[in-house]
């Protein structure tokens, strides 16, 4: 498994969050694992949550919706729309937690080939500094780090 660290940057007073992680995989492998609904369900979110993908149509104008369920049965639903999809290069989408309707983020993920694999760089723009701060305070960092580790584990088993 990859031991590459996940870097999260959320500077105070800004509505931005940036995440960077290098993976021991090709851009094609990373893109596939991040866009195939069956594979997304295996890595997106913290380990302690069960995930159900209701829709994951990765194409311009395509939608997604998934639900995380905690051990006590509480559910957390997320949804969005894919705006731009350039396989193995870039995905631009919206992201909304249904528990905070109207607080829609714009997210961009880029895939950069490196000497040892691929670098995933995501940038999220929240509608306000307050919305970004609420997301950070909700434990977002834990969820991101756990998801990135799970993604690396899944990629380590995928040598297609």
Could you report the per-residue pLDDT of 129-140, keeping only the tens digit for each? Answer: 999 999 889 888
The reply to whether 79 falls in a domain is yes
Indicate if the pLDDT at residue 75 is higher than 50.
yes
Q: What DSSP character marks residue 127? A: S
Domain that holds residue 19: 6-156
The reply to whether 107 falls in a domain is yes
**Predicted pLDDT at 1:** 45
Task: State the SS3 of 23-58.
Answer: ECCCHHHHHHHHHCHHHHHHHCCCCCCEEEEEEECC
C-alpha distances (whole Å) from 128 to each of 20, 121, 141 are 22, 21, 18
The reply to whether 128 falls in a domain is yes
Local confidence band at 158 (pLDDT 50, 70, 90 cut-offs): low
Question: Rounded mean pLDDT of 77-85?
Answer: 98
CATH of the domain at 115: 3.30.530.20
The reply to whether 1 falls in a domain is no
Query: Residue 157 CB: number of other CB atoms within 10 A?
Result: 9
Q: What is the pTM of this model?
A: 0.92
Supply the Cα-derived Rg of the chain in whole angstroms. 15
The reply to whether 30 falls in a domain is yes
The reply to whether 32 falls in a domain is yes
Are the CB atoms for 33 and 154 separated by under 8 Å? yes
Q: Which of 19, 30, 27 is nearest to 112 (CA)?
A: 27
Could you report the per-residue pLDDT of 90-133, keeping only the tens digit for each? Answer: 999 999 999 989 999 999 999 999 999 999 999 999 999 999 99
Local confidence band at 160 (pLDDT 50, 70, 90 cut-offs): very low
- Split into its structural domains, the chain has a count of 1
The reply to whether 33 falls in a domain is yes
The vertex-102 CA angle with 83 and 151, nearest 5°, equals 55
Local confidence band at 159 (pLDDT 50, 70, 90 cut-offs): very low
């Amino acid at each position: 498994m990859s031991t590459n660290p996940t870097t999260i940057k959320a500077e105070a007073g800004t509505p931005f969050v940036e995440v960077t992680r290098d993976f021991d995989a090709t851009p094609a492998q990373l893109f596939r694992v991040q866009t195939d609904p069956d594979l997304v369900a295996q890595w997106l979110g913290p380990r302690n949550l069960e995930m159900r993908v209701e829709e994951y149509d990765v194409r311009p104008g395509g939608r997604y919706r998934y639900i995380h369920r905690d051990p006590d049965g509480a559910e957390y639903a997320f949804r969005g729309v894919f705006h731009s999809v350039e396989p193995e290069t870039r995905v631009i989408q919206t992201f909304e937690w249904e528990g905070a309707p109207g607080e829609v983020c714009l997210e961009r993920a880029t895939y950069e080939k490196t000497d040892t694999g691929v670098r995933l760089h995501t940038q999220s723009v929240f509608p306000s500094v307050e919305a970004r701060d609420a997301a950070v305070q909700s434990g977002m960092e834990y969820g991101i780090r756990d998801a990135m580790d799970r993604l690396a584990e899944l990629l380590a088993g995928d040598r297609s």
